[in-house]
């Protein structure tokens, strides 16, 4: 599983201009089952996406296709983690530690 942290590196006007395409990109990755949660950071200086997967290269490829990345308005920090403990409603996302 991955935490994708977006940090805005451009004025908010440029972020807002790219937002409709970014939202369509998000929706496509929700539909494919890769993204399970996302939203703006507070204060609004970026965002967070929770993504499923075990292939860092694939996740990196996905972030590079984000219209925000293409427009040069964000930088990504990608953190991989193993969700060994979850709340009951998130049980389907629990993972085993690699051996």
pLDDT at 82 over 90: yes
Bond prior to 43 in cis (omega within 30° of 0):
yes
pLDDT at 99 over 80: no
pTM more than 0.85:
yes
Q: Tens of pLDDT along 27-78?
A: 999 999 999 999 999 999 999 999 999 999 999 999 999 999 999 999 999 9
Residue by residue, DSSP assigns 42-66 as: SSSSEEEEEE--S-HHHHHHHHHTS
Are 69 and 76 in contact, with CB atoms under 8 Å apart? yes
pLDDT at 98: 78
Domain 2-93 indexed as CATH 3.30.70.1060: yes
């Amino acid at each position: 599983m991955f935490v994708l942290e977006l940090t805005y590196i451009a004025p908010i006007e440029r972020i807002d201009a790219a937002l409709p395409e970014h939202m369509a990109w998000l929706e496509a990755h929700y539909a494919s089952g890769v993204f399970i949660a996302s939203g703006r950071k507070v204060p609004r200086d970026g965002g967070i996406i929770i993504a499923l997967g075990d292939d860092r290269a694939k996740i990196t490829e996905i972030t590079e296709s984000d219209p925000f990345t293409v427009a040069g308005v964000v930088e990504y920090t990608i953190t991989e983690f193993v969700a060994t403990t979850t709340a009951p409603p998130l049980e389907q996302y629990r993972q085993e530690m690699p051996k």
